[in-house]
């Protein structure tokens, strides 16, 4: 489906309302389209290609979307994550319109940009919508200044520490640097406070 067809199919603002801001997958559609069509007055079909990992989330979004657009059919095609890039790139390289929305891994952004497979979303995102996203979350899906996707979800790795073990090692606060952390971990192992150190 072309960008023009997507725009004529559904109101981007209504999708944002239904599905919530800041998602790719079905939510990526909300940025691809900005028509003034009122809810319930459109019909058609959209196909999402995604890994099965987020299927329950996509089913939820589909349900929310259908509340405002009962006449728009949403087909969810799922493949294993290890097959997703191959399937997506095959469909896109062939020029087929068999898939409208594709779950894209962040590491594919440059490739999708280089091949012209992603519609830049800059013109569809208002500054207000961008300001609602976590700082820096668009950087991994931006190439050459063009926003090419929206995240389904991001995870942040965190470190935590056991205050009791630190006290036993004579420390009142966590190590301030990674070098200090490595030294504390080695000491905790040597003193048999822990068997394994991760971080």
**pLDDT given for residue 56 in this prediction:** 87
What residue segments make up the domains of the chain, in order of their start? 3-147, 157-199
Q: What was the pLDDT predicted at 18?
A: 33
Tell me the average confidence (pLDDT) per consecutive run of 10 residues in the chain, 199 residues long: 44 36 38 42 81 85 84 90 93 87 85 86 82 80 86 69 89 89 90 80
pLDDT value at position 85? Answer: 93
Pairing between β-strand 101-102 and β-strand 146-147 as defined by DSSP bridges: unpaired
The pTM of this model reads: 0.61
Class of domain 3-147: alpha beta
| 43 contacts 15 by C-beta, under 8 angstroms | no
Question: CA dist 117 to 3, 49, 89, 183, Å?
Answer: 12, 14, 9, 47
Sign of the torsion angle spanned by Cα atoms 94, 99, 101, 107: negative
The predicted structure's pLDDT at residue 194: 86
pLDDT at 38 (0 to 100): 54
pLDDT attached to residue 39: 58
Instruction: Determine the pLDDT at residue 83.
Output: 94
């Amino acid at each position: 489906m072309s960008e023009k067809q997507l725009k004529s199919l559904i109101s981007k603002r209504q999708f944002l309302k239904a599905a919530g801001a800041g998602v790719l997958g079905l939510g990526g559609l909300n940025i691809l389209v900005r028509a003034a069509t009122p809810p319930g007055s459109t019909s058609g079909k959209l196909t999402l290609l995604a890994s099965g990992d987020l299927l329950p989330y996509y089913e939820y979004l589909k349900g929310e979307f259908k509340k405002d657009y009962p006449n728009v059919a949403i087909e969810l095609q799922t493949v294993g994550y290890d097959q997703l890039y191959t399937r997506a790139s095959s469909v896109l390289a062939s020029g087929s319109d068999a898939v409208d929305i594709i779950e894209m891994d962040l590491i594919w952004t440059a490739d999708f940009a280089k091949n012209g497979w992603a519609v830049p979303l800059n013109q569809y995102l208002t500054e207000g919508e961008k300001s609602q996203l976590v700082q820096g979350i668009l950087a991994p899906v931006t190439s050459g200044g063009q926003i090419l996707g929206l995240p389904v979800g991001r995870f942040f790795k965190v470190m935590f520490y056991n205050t009791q073990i630190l006290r036993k090692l004579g420390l009142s606060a966590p190590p301030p640097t990674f070098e200090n952390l490595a030294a504390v971990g080695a000491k905790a192992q040597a003193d048999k406070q822990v068997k394994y150190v991760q971080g």
